[in-house]
Homo-oligomer: A and B are copies of this chain.
Amino acid sequence: MPLPLAFTGAALDRADQVRVDPRALAAAAADPRATCLVLDGIDFVPGEGGGLSWRSLDPADDRALLLLGIDDTGAPRFVREAPVGARVDARSRTVMRMLPLLSPEEAALYGGARSLVDWHARHRFCAVCGQPTALFRGGWGRRCGACNAEHFPRVDPVVIMLAEFEDRVLVGRQPGFPPGFFSALAGFVEPGESLEEAVARELFEEAGIRVSDVRYVASQPWPFPSSLMIGCRAVARDTALTLDTTEIEAAMWVDRGDVRAALSGGMDAPFVAPPPLAIARYLLEAWLAL
């Protein structure tokens, strides 16, 4: 079976009862065991041993505290809102290179913290009326000071899928991908459609293929900035491709030998496979294991 998915497996109790209880929240912030995740903007700062860095809470820091949760020793873990004006960026190449420094549990915890801090940095104003918002619920929401509208962190569902035809699957590349790199096709789920409908629509829009028998495979949070990747497979009616070249510059049907070669990273592989972080690699591994 494939390896566990990156950004899953955070070993923290999210403690939603604490978030909604101002007294419990104040007690958590006053707990001498409480620590705060050290970030540079929304990127993590590696500790001496290579993992995440944590500091005790600095009472002189007036940025709001967001409660990440309670660890298995009972210690509260926080992160602070980014400073106003800090650079937040949908995907930092630097942080992608540093992620292998983290254990799976740390990467999952960091991924959730990154999405949350990023969301606050981009939601300081009320989308309903334009006035400033302030965080509440220990950082799991913002409320407008003028119209009282409540806003909650976004999670954007994305379908990512392998179309199958007989003993082959479809992989494609977007214009910005590194040379030779091919992956599963993907796209955001839109209002008014099920996951299965989103899979069928995206495969038709991007590659011109019609599918049936959409099956769910696995899911993964993807904190760039706040996607929920929902991995599926589907059976194609035929193999003729009509590419939307603004989205997909090339696509091809690959067989099990091709996929095995790509996953093992051989020089003669017909494509460069997605990295272990990506659910696309998991989908390829799961298909080989069928």
The reply to whether B128 and A130 form a contact with Cβ atoms under 8 Å apart is no
Which of B112, B127, B152, B226 interacts with A123 by CB under 8 Å?
A: B127
Does residue A163 face the partner (Cβ distance < 8 Å to B)?
Answer: no
Contact with B along A225-260 (1 / 0, CB 8 A): 010101000000000000010100000000000000
Q: Is the C-beta of A125 less than 8 angstroms from some C-beta in chain B?
A: yes
Least CB distance from A82 to B in Å reads: 13
Contacting residue for A190 out of B9, B112, B216, B220, CB 8 A: B112
Contact A155 B191 (CB under 8 A): yes
Residues of B within 8 A of A230 (CB): 195
Known: A130-B125, A149-B122. A192 touches B10 (CB 8 A): yes
Judged by a CB distance under 8 angstroms, whether A166 is at the interface is no
- The answer to whether A131 has its CB under 8 Å from any CB of chain B is yes
Which chain B residues lie closer than 8 Å to A7 at the CB level? 192
Do B221 and A191 touch (CB < 8 A)?
yes
Contact A228 B125 (CB under 8 A): no
